[in-house]
Chain A
Amino acid sequence: GAGVSQSPSNKVTEKGKDVELRCDPISGHTALYWYRQSLGQGLEFLIYFQGNSAPDKSGLPSDRFSAERTGGSVSTLTIQRTQQEDSAVYLCASSWREGYTFGSGTRLTVV
């Protein structure tokens, strides 16, 4: 597709459940990023994949968060045992030479 695609666009889950968020980057983009935006906050870096290099996981807030990128393309962000403070908009972006292109995000609500 022409842009970064994220699914689902909205997700409501019960506290304690696991969730998976998906990101389809722009074809050919070697870098993929996950950020989240909590209510009233800026964008918080979570994790960054660059080509075949080891991902930069320095932004993951706890070991309940993990992400993988299969075949250098699609990425999945997994949150285990969700907590209410995980509620946020999770944004994926990809880039090559130009600035990031962001997806529209997944709004996660933990109830």
Chain B
Amino acid sequence: DQQVKQNSPSLSVQEGRISILNCDYTNSMFDYFLWYKKYPAEGPTFLISISSIKDKNEDGRFTVFLNKSAKHLSLHIVPSQPGDSAVYFCAASGSLPYAGGTSYGKLTFGQGTILTVHP
């Protein structure tokens, strides 16, 4: 049962254009969502996150949108750069961090989308 799905295995974009990566989830208990980026032979690195109380979070060129009613989130990268070429994973958690210092608990990841940005 794939609770987090990235239905596009790959995406190719021209440098300078917008990249839109999509993610759908089925578990309504998820309330925290994250995007990770992974280069070959490296571990995933955290990009951006959003909690379910928001519908948008922006950090520089990266913006994550959350549509709770549709159980859908997307990552927008604008403008796209060749260095953005990597595998992008969305992930979801049922836990929220608290001030005492905690983790998100286990994350459920999508299958990943390979983004290629052409010069």
Q: Do they bind each other?
A: yes
Which A residues have a C-beta under 8 Å from some C-beta of B? 4, 30-31, 33, 35, 40-45, 48, 50, 56, 58-59, 91, 93, 95-105
Q: CB-CB < 8 A to A91: which residues of B?
A: 43-44
For the complex, what is the distance from the CA of A97 to the CA of B72, rounded to whole Å?
25
Pick from B43, B101, B106: contact of A104, CB below 8 A.
Answer: B43
* A99 B49 Cβ-Cβ under 8 A: yes
- Number of B residues contacting the other chain (C-beta, 8 Å)? 26
Stretch at the interface among B52-60, B62-70, B109-117: B109-117
Which B residues have a C-beta under 8 Å from some C-beta of A? 4, 6, 34, 36, 41-46, 49, 89, 91, 97, 101-112
* B104 A95 Cβ-Cβ under 8 A: yes
* A104 B46 Cβ-Cβ under 8 A: no
CB distance from B42 to the nearest CB of A (A): 6
CB distance from A55 to the nearest CB of B (A): 11
Pair count A-B, CB < 8 A: 71
For the residues of B in contact with A, the DSSP-based class is loop
Pick from A31, A43, A44: contact of B103, CB below 8 A.
Answer: A31
For the complex, what is the distance from the CA of A48 to the CA of B95, rounded to whole Å?
13
Pick from A33, A35, A50, A104: contact of B42, CB below 8 A.
Answer: A104
For the complex, what is the distance from the CA of A59 to the CA of B36, rounded to whole Å?
20
* B43 A4 Cβ-Cβ under 8 A: yes
Cross-chain pairs A/B with CB under 8 angstroms, 10 sampled? A30-B101, A35-B109, A42-B6, A43-B89, A44-B109, A91-B44, A93-B43, A99-B49, A100-B44, A101-B43
* B102 A30 Cβ-Cβ under 8 A: yes
Q: CB-CB < 8 A to A48: which residues of B?
A: 103, 105-106
